[in-house]
Amino acid sequence: MKVLVVGSGGREHAIIRKLSDSEIVDKIYCAPGNGGTLALAENVEIDSLDIDNLKKFSIDNSIDLTIVGPEDPLAKGIVDEFKEENLVVFGPDSKCAQLEASKDFCKKFLIDNGIPTAKYKTYYNYEKAIEGLNQFNYPLVIKADGLCLGKGVTICENEEEAVQNLKSIFIDKVFGSQGEKVIIEEYLDGIEASLMCFVSHNKIYPMESAKDYKKIYDDDLGPNTGGVGAYSPSPLFTDGFKTIIDNNIIRKIENGFEKYGFDYTGILFIGFMICNSTPYVLEFNVRFGDPETEVVLPRLKSDLAKIIIDAIEGKLIAESLIWDERPSVAVVLTSGGYPKEYVKGYEISGIEKVDNDVYVFHNGTKRIDGKLLTNGGRVLTIGCVDEISKAIEKVYEEIKKINFNKMQYRKDIGKSFFL
């Protein structure tokens, strides 16, 4: 079987690494890929949003399965267009992708289906939103409606910050049309956790849980990022807690899919805030998370390609998901200045020295004239599957072997919870 993976980050590298172990996969392509995917796949110079050329490539090369990594092509309708050409593709269609593409749609879905979530209200202009601030206590959360490159959510500690944030969205239009609606939401104080699920025609099959780290600096300080570290599983996901989530959230989501006329097949990422042992849903993503994928998929012992084909064909069963009982941890190496301005193009050295029991996923790299260079804010993800204290120790020991100019990373991933 020939597989095309769409995307260029650490998530896609982790997917490709797992596909490379499959008994049914003969050839893997990645569009556009990065400096690490080259080792396991053939990179194809097609942007992940160039749906027409992705379709043409799939037809011309007789691709048997396409797996879509990022959210943008899903929201743009890549699955709909591939299916029109009778191409086999894994991911939700544009109707289902609204759960991530529109935060207003997501909140309405949650409320409509009785799924616990933070109280909120949607506003369509600056003046009404300013008036609406009086209905919430601080801190509060402001969300621009669209995808906004993952930068549309801000926690505001006081009125001054909230007013400035609303001004930047409505008046300065920093997110363009994706900021035409704004959600103001109560701030939930608790512990975040993530649960990615395979979905087969509206039936949900949870994977192992994870916890990611959003803040750039140790002790959860500094601005939010796309995620700079993670571990799996979350210690909060006890058997009893899984039962609560299954009954109070998973079943309600499945019912909601049916109620909304969805035919959801793909990945559903559920972002939780757990307050006093009660889970609330913060958000949905309609694809593999990043960096959660880099700690969850290494624990998957089953054949990923078979799971995906079974999900598409409606044959998936829970017993197909077999996991390594050992936990995993991963730390993201970032470019100095990230998540704000940073410089690309620094040479990376030392990866070849990393021990085999520690994996390296490339988030933002490229190869030019035989040299591996930085090509993004998040550059590499270093991870390990082992008893948790050993995994953390191994990861940080092996990171010392890697170097690029202005390399930065958090030193406390997993440590605050486990050590």
| CB contact at 8 A, 230 and 295 | yes
Q: For tokens 């749906």, name the residue.
A: 51
Q: Which one-letter DSSP state was computed for residue 337?
A: T
Is the predicted pLDDT of residue 270 greater than 70, yes or no? Answer: yes
273-285 mean pLDDT: 93
Domain ranges of the chain: 2-90, 125-180, 191-320, 328-418
- Position 346 scores a pLDDT of 98
Q: What percent of the chain has pLDDT above 70?
A: 99
The closest alpha carbon to 325, from 344, 347, 300, belongs to 300
* DSSP β-bridge partners for residue 68: 6
Give the residue, 84 or 153, on which the prediction is more confident: 84
Average pLDDT, the chain: 96
- Position 417 scores a pLDDT of 67
Residues in the chain: 419
What are the DSSP E strand ranges found in 8-64? 27-32, 42-43
The closest alpha carbon to 229, from 10, 40, 386, 406, belongs to 10
CA–CA distance, 324 with 75 (Å, rounded to integer): 33
Q: For tokens 């049309």, name the residue.
A: 177
384-398 mean pLDDT: 97
Is the predicted pLDDT of residue 139 greater than 80, yes or no? Answer: yes
96-125 mean pLDDT: 96
**Token digits of residue 279:** 């889970």
201-213 mean pLDDT: 97
**Token digits of residue 336:** 């100095």
- Position 151 scores a pLDDT of 78
Task: For domain 191-320, give its CATH number from 1.10.8.60, 3.40.50.720, 3.30.980.10, 3.30.470.20.
Answer: 3.30.470.20
Longest alpha-carbon distance in the chain: 59
The closest alpha carbon to 282, from 191, 202, 213, 208, belongs to 191
pLDDT band at 419 (very low <50, low <70, confident <90, very high): low
Please, which residues have CB within 8 angstroms of residue 213's CB and are 6 or more apart in sequence?
A: 220, 227, 228, 229, 230, 410, 413
Is the predicted pLDDT of residue 281 greater than 70, yes or no? Answer: yes
- Position 298 scores a pLDDT of 98
- Position 415 scores a pLDDT of 87
The alpha carbon of residue 107 and the mean position of all alpha carbons in its chain are separated, in whole angstroms, by: 19
CA–CA distance, 326 with 32 (Å, rounded to integer): 33
29-47 mean pLDDT: 97
166-170 mean pLDDT: 95
Could you give phi then psi for residue 117, rounded to 5 degrees? -155, 170
CA distances from 330 to 16, 157, 254, 411 (A): 17, 30, 31, 11
Q: What percent of the chain has pLDDT above 90?
A: 93
- pLDDT of 403-413, one tens digit each? 999 999 999 99
222-226 mean pLDDT: 89
pLDDT band at 199 (very low <50, low <70, confident <90, very high): very high
Is the predicted pLDDT of residue 50 greater than 70, yes or no? Answer: yes
| CB contact at 8 A, 328 and 295 | yes
Fold of 328-418: Glycinamide Ribonucleotide Synthetase; Chain A, domain 4 (3.90.600)
pTM: 0.95
373-381 mean pLDDT: 98
Q: Which CATH code for domain 2-90? A: 3.40.50.20
| CB contact at 8 A, 126 and 166 | yes
Q: Which CATH class is domain 125-180?
A: alpha beta
